[in-house]
Structure 1
Amino acid sequence: MSSKLIHPPSMATSQIPISRTTKMLLSFTNLKTMSFRDNPFRLRSMFIGKVTEQSSASSPNQQQQQQDDDITVTQIKQDLYEALKGINRGIFGVKSEKKTEIEELVNLLECRNPTPEPTRELDKIGGCWKLIYSTITVLGSKRTKLGLRSFVSLGDLLQQIDIAQGKTVHVLKFDVRGLNLHDGEFRIVASFKITSKSSVEITYESSTIVPEQLMNIFRKNMNLLLGIFNPEGLFEISYLDEDLQVGRDGKGNVFVLERTEKS
Protein backbone atom coordinates (compact mmCIF):
# COMPACT_ATOMS: atom_id res chain seq x y z
CA MET A 1 0.00 0.00 0.00
CA SER A 2 1.55 3.20 -1.15
CA SER A 3 1.17 6.44 0.67
CA LYS A 4 0.91 9.90 -0.80
CA LEU A 5 2.18 12.98 0.81
CA ILE A 6 -0.40 15.73 1.01
CA HIS A 7 1.15 19.14 0.75
CA PRO A 8 -0.60 22.22 2.02
CA PRO A 9 -1.80 24.50 -0.74
CA SER A 10 0.51 27.35 -1.59
CA MET A 11 -0.49 30.86 -0.69
CA ALA A 12 -0.33 31.85 -4.31
CA THR A 13 -3.09 29.45 -5.31
CA SER A 14 -5.31 29.69 -2.19
CA GLN A 15 -8.68 31.39 -2.51
CA ILE A 16 -9.18 33.33 0.69
CA PRO A 17 -12.38 35.38 0.63
CA ILE A 18 -11.76 39.04 1.29
CA SER A 19 -14.51 40.90 3.04
CA ARG A 20 -15.54 44.51 2.31
CA THR A 21 -13.94 45.63 5.54
CA THR A 22 -10.68 43.98 4.59
CA LYS A 23 -10.74 45.74 1.21
CA MET A 24 -11.25 49.09 2.92
CA LEU A 25 -8.31 48.43 5.22
CA LEU A 26 -6.14 47.48 2.26
CA SER A 27 -7.18 50.66 0.48
CA PHE A 28 -6.17 52.82 3.44
CA THR A 29 -2.89 50.88 3.67
CA ASN A 30 -2.14 51.63 0.04
CA LEU A 31 -2.96 55.29 0.60
CA LYS A 32 -0.09 55.54 3.08
CA THR A 33 2.35 55.00 0.23
CA MET A 34 0.78 57.72 -1.88
CA SER A 35 2.37 61.10 -2.18
CA PHE A 36 0.04 63.87 -0.95
CA ARG A 37 1.91 66.11 -3.28
CA ASP A 38 0.14 64.31 -6.12
CA ASN A 39 -3.35 64.55 -4.59
CA PRO A 40 -3.26 66.65 -1.42
CA PHE A 41 -7.04 66.91 -0.90
CA ARG A 42 -8.16 63.35 -1.52
CA LEU A 43 -8.74 62.45 2.12
CA ARG A 44 -9.50 65.91 3.40
CA SER A 45 -12.42 66.56 1.04
CA MET A 46 -14.08 63.29 2.02
CA PHE A 47 -14.20 64.18 5.72
CA ILE A 48 -15.11 67.82 5.18
CA GLY A 49 -18.10 66.69 3.14
CA LYS A 50 -19.36 64.66 6.08
CA VAL A 51 -18.96 67.53 8.53
CA THR A 52 -20.69 69.96 6.20
CA GLU A 53 -23.53 67.56 5.67
CA GLN A 54 -24.09 67.14 9.41
CA SER A 55 -23.79 70.83 10.30
CA SER A 56 -26.26 71.89 7.59
CA ALA A 57 -29.02 69.88 9.20
CA SER A 58 -30.98 71.99 11.73
CA SER A 59 -34.36 71.74 13.38
CA PRO A 60 -37.37 73.76 12.14
CA ASN A 61 -37.29 75.75 15.39
CA GLN A 62 -33.65 76.72 14.81
CA GLN A 63 -34.42 77.75 11.24
CA GLN A 64 -37.38 79.86 12.39
CA GLN A 65 -35.23 81.48 15.07
CA GLN A 66 -32.61 82.35 12.47
CA GLN A 67 -35.26 83.93 10.25
CA ASP A 68 -36.63 85.91 13.20
CA ASP A 69 -33.13 87.13 14.05
CA ASP A 70 -32.48 88.25 10.49
CA ILE A 71 -35.61 90.43 10.21
CA THR A 72 -35.02 94.11 10.96
CA VAL A 73 -36.99 96.48 13.19
CA THR A 74 -37.98 98.50 10.13
CA GLN A 75 -39.44 95.40 8.47
CA ILE A 76 -41.31 94.41 11.64
CA LYS A 77 -42.83 97.87 11.99
CA GLN A 78 -43.88 97.88 8.34
CA ASP A 79 -45.53 94.48 8.77
CA LEU A 80 -47.23 95.66 11.97
CA TYR A 81 -48.69 98.77 10.34
CA GLU A 82 -49.94 96.61 7.49
CA ALA A 83 -51.55 94.15 9.92
CA LEU A 84 -53.32 96.99 11.74
CA LYS A 85 -55.07 98.31 8.66
CA GLY A 86 -58.86 98.18 8.76
CA ILE A 87 -59.29 96.92 12.36
CA ASN A 88 -60.11 100.27 14.03
CA ARG A 89 -57.37 99.80 16.65
CA GLY A 90 -58.93 96.50 17.71
CA ILE A 91 -61.49 98.30 19.88
CA PHE A 92 -64.40 96.30 18.53
CA GLY A 93 -62.50 93.03 18.37
CA VAL A 94 -60.44 91.26 15.71
CA LYS A 95 -60.35 87.73 14.35
CA SER A 96 -58.15 85.30 16.25
CA GLU A 97 -55.80 84.82 13.27
CA LYS A 98 -55.26 88.57 12.97
CA LYS A 99 -54.75 88.94 16.72
CA THR A 100 -52.12 86.18 16.68
CA GLU A 101 -50.32 87.85 13.77
CA ILE A 102 -50.24 91.19 15.59
CA GLU A 103 -49.06 89.64 18.86
CA GLU A 104 -46.21 87.84 17.09
CA LEU A 105 -45.03 91.10 15.52
CA VAL A 106 -45.28 92.90 18.86
CA ASN A 107 -43.20 90.15 20.49
CA LEU A 108 -40.55 90.50 17.79
CA LEU A 109 -40.39 94.24 18.45
CA GLU A 110 -40.09 93.75 22.19
CA CYS A 111 -37.12 91.42 21.64
CA ARG A 112 -35.38 94.28 19.82
CA ASN A 113 -36.22 97.08 22.27
CA PRO A 114 -33.60 99.84 21.80
CA THR A 115 -34.60 101.42 25.14
CA PRO A 116 -34.52 98.64 27.77
CA GLU A 117 -34.67 101.19 30.63
CA PRO A 118 -37.21 103.77 29.41
CA THR A 119 -37.92 105.39 32.79
CA ARG A 120 -34.27 106.44 32.88
CA GLU A 121 -34.69 108.17 29.52
CA LEU A 122 -37.86 110.14 30.21
CA ASP A 123 -37.21 112.61 27.41
CA LYS A 124 -38.12 109.82 24.98
CA ILE A 125 -41.46 109.24 26.71
CA GLY A 126 -42.75 112.80 27.03
CA GLY A 127 -45.09 114.29 24.44
CA CYS A 128 -48.23 113.17 22.68
CA TRP A 129 -48.97 109.61 21.57
CA LYS A 130 -51.87 108.18 19.57
CA LEU A 131 -53.24 104.69 20.21
CA ILE A 132 -53.13 102.52 17.09
CA TYR A 133 -53.86 99.14 18.69
CA SER A 134 -55.12 97.75 21.98
CA THR A 135 -56.37 94.40 23.22
CA ILE A 136 -59.01 96.24 25.29
CA THR A 137 -62.33 95.84 23.47
CA VAL A 138 -65.85 97.29 23.65
CA LEU A 139 -68.21 94.48 22.68
CA GLY A 140 -71.82 93.37 23.12
CA SER A 141 -73.97 95.24 25.64
CA LYS A 142 -71.11 97.59 26.56
CA ARG A 143 -70.92 98.87 23.01
CA THR A 144 -74.70 99.24 22.84
CA LYS A 145 -74.97 101.15 26.14
CA LEU A 146 -72.27 103.61 25.09
CA GLY A 147 -74.04 104.25 21.79
CA LEU A 148 -71.01 103.13 19.81
CA ARG A 149 -73.14 101.03 17.48
CA SER A 150 -75.24 103.84 16.10
CA PHE A 151 -75.01 107.56 16.76
CA VAL A 152 -71.65 107.89 18.55
CA SER A 153 -68.37 107.34 16.68
CA LEU A 154 -65.06 106.94 18.50
CA GLY A 155 -62.27 109.11 17.13
CA ASP A 156 -58.62 109.36 18.10
CA LEU A 157 -57.41 108.11 21.46
CA LEU A 158 -54.55 110.33 22.56
CA GLN A 159 -52.14 110.24 25.48
CA GLN A 160 -50.34 113.41 26.52
CA ILE A 161 -47.41 112.77 28.88
CA ASP A 162 -46.04 115.69 30.91
CA ILE A 163 -42.76 114.52 32.42
CA ALA A 164 -42.13 117.69 34.44
CA GLN A 165 -45.52 117.48 36.17
CA GLY A 166 -45.63 113.69 36.42
CA LYS A 167 -49.05 113.75 34.73
CA THR A 168 -50.78 111.97 31.89
CA VAL A 169 -53.91 113.15 30.12
CA HIS A 170 -55.88 110.59 28.12
CA VAL A 171 -58.27 112.04 25.57
CA LEU A 172 -60.97 110.09 23.73
CA LYS A 173 -62.43 111.96 20.77
CA PHE A 174 -66.10 111.51 19.86
CA ASP A 175 -68.29 112.37 16.90
CA VAL A 176 -72.02 112.41 17.69
CA ARG A 177 -74.25 112.20 14.64
CA GLY A 178 -77.54 114.05 14.89
CA LEU A 179 -76.21 116.63 17.37
CA ASN A 180 -73.70 118.14 14.95
CA LEU A 181 -70.90 117.41 17.44
CA HIS A 182 -67.60 116.65 15.79
CA ASP A 183 -65.15 117.47 18.55
CA GLY A 184 -66.56 116.07 21.77
CA GLU A 185 -64.08 114.43 24.09
CA PHE A 186 -63.69 112.41 27.27
CA ARG A 187 -60.62 113.54 29.19
CA ILE A 188 -58.96 111.53 31.99
CA VAL A 189 -56.21 113.10 34.11
CA ALA A 190 -53.84 110.83 36.03
CA SER A 191 -50.49 111.02 37.79
CA PHE A 192 -47.65 108.55 37.49
CA LYS A 193 -44.62 107.51 39.48
CA ILE A 194 -41.67 105.36 38.45
CA THR A 195 -41.67 101.88 39.97
CA SER A 196 -38.84 100.24 38.00
CA LYS A 197 -36.49 100.82 35.09
CA SER A 198 -39.32 99.98 32.67
CA SER A 199 -42.63 100.54 34.49
CA VAL A 200 -44.74 103.23 36.13
CA GLU A 201 -47.73 103.24 38.45
CA ILE A 202 -50.64 105.34 37.14
CA THR A 203 -53.16 106.86 39.56
CA TYR A 204 -56.52 108.25 38.44
CA GLU A 205 -57.25 111.86 39.46
CA SER A 206 -60.22 113.23 37.53
CA SER A 207 -62.27 113.06 34.35
CA THR A 208 -64.48 115.39 32.31
CA ILE A 209 -66.69 115.19 29.23
CA VAL A 210 -67.28 118.15 26.95
CA PRO A 211 -69.51 119.59 25.60
CA GLU A 212 -72.50 119.33 27.91
CA GLN A 213 -74.65 117.54 25.32
CA LEU A 214 -72.11 114.73 25.22
CA MET A 215 -72.04 114.57 29.00
CA ASN A 216 -75.81 114.08 29.00
CA ILE A 217 -75.41 111.07 26.70
CA PHE A 218 -72.75 109.37 28.84
CA ARG A 219 -73.84 110.50 32.30
CA LYS A 220 -75.60 107.28 33.29
CA ASN A 221 -72.75 105.17 31.88
CA MET A 222 -69.78 107.05 33.33
CA ASN A 223 -68.68 104.08 35.46
CA LEU A 224 -68.76 101.87 32.38
CA LEU A 225 -66.76 104.40 30.38
CA LEU A 226 -64.15 104.69 33.13
CA GLY A 227 -64.04 100.93 33.58
CA ILE A 228 -62.98 100.55 29.95
CA PHE A 229 -60.68 103.51 29.36
CA ASN A 230 -59.28 104.45 32.79
CA PRO A 231 -55.49 103.84 32.58
CA GLU A 232 -55.05 103.36 36.34
CA GLY A 233 -52.59 100.71 37.55
CA LEU A 234 -49.18 99.33 36.63
CA PHE A 235 -47.96 100.09 33.11
CA GLU A 236 -44.78 98.57 31.67
CA ILE A 237 -43.12 100.07 28.61
CA SER A 238 -41.83 97.05 26.71
CA TYR A 239 -40.68 98.84 23.54
CA LEU A 240 -39.76 102.47 22.89
CA ASP A 241 -38.10 104.30 20.03
CA GLU A 242 -38.47 107.77 18.49
CA ASP A 243 -41.92 107.18 17.01
CA LEU A 244 -43.38 103.95 18.44
CA GLN A 245 -44.22 102.74 21.93
CA VAL A 246 -45.50 99.37 23.16
CA GLY A 247 -46.79 98.88 26.68
CA ARG A 248 -48.60 96.33 28.83
CA ASP A 249 -50.82 97.01 31.81
CA GLY A 250 -51.17 94.94 34.97
CA LYS A 251 -53.99 92.93 33.41
CA GLY A 252 -51.89 91.82 30.43
CA ASN A 253 -53.48 94.17 27.90
CA VAL A 254 -51.25 95.33 25.06
CA PHE A 255 -51.10 98.92 23.80
CA VAL A 256 -49.32 100.14 20.69
CA LEU A 257 -48.96 103.90 20.30
CA GLU A 258 -47.29 106.12 17.73
CA ARG A 259 -45.94 109.60 18.35
CA THR A 260 -48.09 112.42 17.00
CA GLU A 261 -47.99 116.21 16.90
CA LYS A 262 -51.60 116.46 18.09
CA SER A 263 -52.21 117.76 21.61
Structure 2
Amino acid sequence: MIQKTDLLNAIAPTNRGLLTSPEQQQAILTQVARLEACNPTPSPLTATDLLNGNWQLLYTTSSELLGIDRFPLLTLGNIYQWVDMAQQRIYNLAEIKSVLGGLVSVTATFEAVSEKRVNVQFDRAIFGLQATLGYQNPSQFIATLQQTTKFNLIKGIDFTINSNRAPGWLEITYLDDTMRIGRGNQGSTFVLCKV
Protein backbone atom coordinates (compact mmCIF):
# COMPACT_ATOMS: atom_id res chain seq x y z
CA MET A 1 0.00 0.00 0.00
CA ILE A 2 1.56 3.26 -1.17
CA GLN A 3 0.12 5.35 1.70
CA LYS A 4 1.79 3.09 4.26
CA THR A 5 5.15 3.19 2.46
CA ASP A 6 4.95 6.98 2.15
CA LEU A 7 4.26 7.33 5.88
CA LEU A 8 7.10 4.99 6.86
CA ASN A 9 9.51 6.88 4.62
CA ALA A 10 8.42 10.22 6.09
CA ILE A 11 8.83 9.17 9.72
CA ALA A 12 12.07 7.17 9.27
CA PRO A 13 14.47 10.13 9.73
CA THR A 14 12.56 11.74 12.64
CA ASN A 15 13.80 9.62 15.59
CA ARG A 16 10.18 8.95 16.67
CA GLY A 17 9.29 12.63 16.28
CA LEU A 18 12.23 14.10 18.21
CA LEU A 19 13.79 15.55 15.04
CA THR A 20 10.64 16.90 13.42
CA SER A 21 10.12 20.50 12.40
CA PRO A 22 6.56 21.92 12.54
CA GLU A 23 6.38 21.66 8.74
CA GLN A 24 7.52 18.01 8.76
CA GLN A 25 5.05 17.21 11.55
CA GLN A 26 2.18 18.67 9.53
CA ALA A 27 3.23 16.71 6.43
CA ILE A 28 3.45 13.50 8.48
CA LEU A 29 0.02 14.08 10.04
CA THR A 30 -1.40 14.57 6.54
CA GLN A 31 0.07 11.20 5.53
CA VAL A 32 -1.30 9.63 8.72
CA ALA A 33 -4.79 10.87 7.79
CA ARG A 34 -4.43 9.41 4.27
CA LEU A 35 -3.55 6.01 5.70
CA GLU A 36 -6.36 6.19 8.28
CA ALA A 37 -8.79 6.69 5.38
CA CYS A 38 -7.71 3.24 4.11
CA ASN A 39 -8.09 1.44 7.45
CA PRO A 40 -8.59 -2.28 6.68
CA THR A 41 -9.93 -2.94 10.20
CA PRO A 42 -12.97 -0.72 10.84
CA SER A 43 -13.63 -2.33 14.27
CA PRO A 44 -10.10 -2.69 15.66
CA LEU A 45 -11.09 -3.62 19.21
CA THR A 46 -12.75 -6.78 17.93
CA ALA A 47 -9.52 -7.80 16.16
CA THR A 48 -7.85 -9.16 19.28
CA ASP A 49 -5.35 -11.31 17.35
CA LEU A 50 -4.06 -8.20 15.59
CA LEU A 51 -4.00 -6.00 18.71
CA ASN A 52 -2.47 -8.43 21.20
CA GLY A 53 1.27 -8.42 21.70
CA ASN A 54 4.25 -6.15 21.54
CA TRP A 55 4.28 -2.91 19.53
CA GLN A 56 7.24 -0.59 18.99
CA LEU A 57 6.70 3.15 18.70
CA LEU A 58 7.86 4.54 15.35
CA TYR A 59 6.51 8.09 15.66
CA THR A 60 4.57 10.26 18.07
CA THR A 61 3.58 13.86 18.67
CA SER A 62 3.29 13.21 22.44
CA SER A 63 5.34 15.80 24.32
CA GLU A 64 5.21 13.60 27.44
CA LEU A 65 7.00 10.73 25.71
CA LEU A 66 9.40 12.85 23.72
CA GLY A 67 10.14 14.95 26.81
CA ILE A 68 12.08 12.04 28.36
CA ASP A 69 14.85 12.82 25.88
CA ARG A 70 15.24 16.36 27.17
CA PHE A 71 16.78 15.39 30.53
CA PRO A 72 20.56 15.92 30.72
CA LEU A 73 22.68 12.81 30.11
CA LEU A 74 19.63 10.75 29.08
CA THR A 75 18.72 9.68 25.58
CA LEU A 76 15.42 8.09 24.74
CA GLY A 77 15.86 4.55 23.44
CA ASN A 78 13.21 2.23 22.06
CA ILE A 79 9.64 2.60 23.29
CA TYR A 80 7.29 -0.38 23.40
CA GLN A 81 3.64 -0.96 24.23
CA TRP A 82 2.43 -4.43 25.14
CA VAL A 83 -1.33 -4.95 24.70
CA ASP A 84 -3.13 -7.75 26.55
CA MET A 85 -6.76 -7.76 25.37
CA ALA A 86 -7.86 -10.64 27.62
CA GLN A 87 -6.63 -8.89 30.78
CA GLN A 88 -7.53 -5.42 29.43
CA ARG A 89 -4.02 -4.19 30.28
CA ILE A 90 -1.42 -2.05 28.57
CA TYR A 91 2.26 -2.02 29.49
CA ASN A 92 4.36 0.91 28.25
CA LEU A 93 8.17 0.62 28.33
CA ALA A 94 10.73 3.28 27.45
CA GLU A 95 14.37 2.24 27.34
CA ILE A 96 16.70 5.03 28.47
CA LYS A 97 20.20 5.17 27.07
CA SER A 98 22.60 6.47 29.70
CA VAL A 99 25.85 5.36 31.25
CA LEU A 100 23.97 2.75 33.28
CA GLY A 101 20.91 2.15 31.08
CA GLY A 102 17.52 3.06 32.49
CA LEU A 103 13.92 2.01 32.12
CA VAL A 104 10.60 3.79 32.56
CA SER A 105 7.48 1.65 32.60
CA VAL A 106 3.85 2.67 33.08
CA THR A 107 0.99 0.19 33.25
CA ALA A 108 -2.71 0.80 32.72
CA THR A 109 -6.07 -0.86 32.50
CA PHE A 110 -8.43 -0.07 29.66
CA GLU A 111 -12.13 -0.35 28.94
CA ALA A 112 -13.63 -0.38 25.46
CA VAL A 113 -16.21 2.36 24.97
CA SER A 114 -16.71 1.78 21.23
CA GLU A 115 -15.30 -0.45 18.48
CA LYS A 116 -12.34 1.96 18.15
CA ARG A 117 -11.91 3.74 21.48
CA VAL A 118 -10.75 2.70 24.93
CA ASN A 119 -10.68 4.64 28.17
CA VAL A 120 -7.27 4.21 29.77
CA GLN A 121 -6.55 4.40 33.51
CA PHE A 122 -2.86 4.43 34.41
CA ASP A 123 -2.20 2.58 37.66
CA ARG A 124 1.51 1.87 38.15
CA ALA A 125 4.87 3.44 37.29
CA ILE A 126 8.35 1.94 37.59
CA PHE A 127 11.65 3.81 37.19
CA GLY A 128 15.05 2.22 37.54
CA LEU A 129 18.17 0.83 36.01
CA GLN A 130 17.73 -1.99 33.53
CA ALA A 131 20.29 -4.14 35.36
CA THR A 132 18.73 -3.82 38.83
CA LEU A 133 15.21 -4.36 37.44
CA GLY A 134 16.46 -7.47 35.61
CA TYR A 135 15.37 -6.06 32.25
CA GLN A 136 16.41 -8.14 29.22
CA ASN A 137 13.68 -7.39 26.68
CA PRO A 138 10.02 -6.26 26.69
CA SER A 139 8.51 -9.78 26.72
CA GLN A 140 10.62 -10.91 29.67
CA PHE A 141 9.96 -7.70 31.63
CA ILE A 142 6.18 -7.84 31.07
CA ALA A 143 6.19 -11.39 32.44
CA THR A 144 8.11 -10.11 35.49
CA LEU A 145 5.65 -7.22 35.98
CA GLN A 146 2.70 -9.61 35.84
CA GLN A 147 4.23 -11.69 38.65
CA THR A 148 5.54 -8.81 40.81
CA THR A 149 3.12 -6.69 42.82
CA LYS A 150 5.84 -4.18 43.68
CA PHE A 151 9.61 -4.00 43.21
CA ASN A 152 11.57 -3.19 46.34
CA LEU A 153 13.41 0.13 46.46
CA ILE A 154 16.77 -1.55 45.82
CA LYS A 155 15.58 -2.59 42.36
CA GLY A 156 13.80 0.63 41.38
CA ILE A 157 11.11 3.15 42.20
CA ASP A 158 7.72 1.46 41.90
CA PHE A 159 4.59 3.36 42.84
CA THR A 160 0.84 3.40 42.37
CA ILE A 161 -0.59 6.15 40.20
CA ASN A 162 -3.48 8.01 41.79
CA SER A 163 -6.69 6.38 40.58
CA ASN A 164 -8.68 9.57 41.22
CA ARG A 165 -7.32 11.05 38.00
CA ALA A 166 -9.80 11.10 35.14
CA PRO A 167 -9.07 8.36 32.60
CA GLY A 168 -7.55 9.26 29.27
CA TRP A 169 -8.68 7.73 26.02
CA LEU A 170 -7.08 6.30 22.93
CA GLU A 171 -8.78 5.75 19.60
CA ILE A 172 -7.30 3.22 17.19
CA THR A 173 -7.64 4.80 13.77
CA TYR A 174 -5.69 2.27 11.71
CA LEU A 175 -4.83 -1.39 12.29
CA ASP A 176 -3.33 -4.08 10.10
CA ASP A 177 -1.04 -7.03 10.80
CA THR A 178 2.10 -4.85 11.09
CA MET A 179 1.00 -1.28 11.89
CA ARG A 180 -1.25 0.52 14.36
CA ILE A 181 -2.11 4.21 14.50
CA GLY A 182 -3.82 5.78 17.47
CA ARG A 183 -4.95 9.23 18.58
CA GLY A 184 -5.14 10.20 22.22
CA ASN A 185 -7.19 12.58 24.32
CA GLN A 186 -4.32 15.11 24.57
CA GLY A 187 -4.19 15.47 20.80
CA SER A 188 -1.24 13.11 20.40
CA THR A 189 -0.78 10.76 17.47
CA PHE A 190 1.04 7.42 17.77
CA VAL A 191 2.37 5.22 14.94
CA LEU A 192 3.55 1.76 16.02
CA CYS A 193 4.77 -1.40 14.33
CA LYS A 194 4.20 -4.96 15.52
CA VAL A 195 7.32 -6.57 16.95
Residue 133 in 1 paired to residue 59 in 2? yes
Bigger radius of gyration among the two: 1
Q: Among residues 222, 228, 234, which one is paired with 2:169 in the alignment?
A: 234
Structure 2 matches for 1:241-256, cutoff 5 A? 241-256=176-191
CA 1:96–1:158 in 2, change beyond 3 Å: closer, same or farther? same
Contact 1:118-1:197 within 8 A present in 2 as well: yes
Amino acid at match of 2:105: R
Structure 2: give runs of 5+ residues left out of the alignment. 134-152, 162-166
Say which structure is richer in helix.
Answer: 1
Say which structure is richer in strand.
Answer: 2
CA 1:131–1:163 in 2, change beyond 3 Å: closer, same or farther? same
> Quick one: distance in 1 between partners of 2:105 and 2:45?
24
Structure 2 matches for 1:65-214, cutoff 5 A? 74-90=1-17, 92=18, 94-137=20-63, 148=70, 150-177=72-99, 181-182=100-101, 184-211=102-129
Q: Aligned-pair distance for 1:168?
A: 0.6
Q: Aligned-pair distance for 1:241?
A: 0.2
Q: How many residues align?
A: 167
> Quick one: distance in 2 between partners of 1:86 and 1:149?
22
> Quick one: distance in 2 between partners of 1:89 and 1:97?
15
Q: Aligned-pair distance for 1:137?
A: 2.6
> Quick one: distance in 2 between partners of 1:104 and 1:133?
14
Q: What CA RMSD, in Å, does the superposition of the two structures yield over aligned residues?
A: 2.8
Amino acid at match of 2:98: V
SS of aligned partner of 1:84: helix
Structure 1 segments of 4+ aligned residues over 4 angstroms from their partners: 212-216
1:186-221 CA distance string (max 9 Å, x none): 1111101110011111111111112299999x98xx
CA 1:210–1:252 in 2, change beyond 3 Å: closer, same or farther? same
Identity of aligned residues (%): 29
TM-score of the pair, normalised by structure 2: 0.76
The aligned counterpart of 1:257 is 192
> Quick one: distance in 2 between partners of 1:117 and 1:125?
11
> Quick one: distance in 1 between partners of 2:37 and 2:104?
34
Q: Aligned-pair distance for 1:255?
A: 0.6
Contact 2:69-2:76 within 8 A present in 1 as well: no
1:229-252 CA distance string (max 9 Å, x none): xxx511100000000000001122
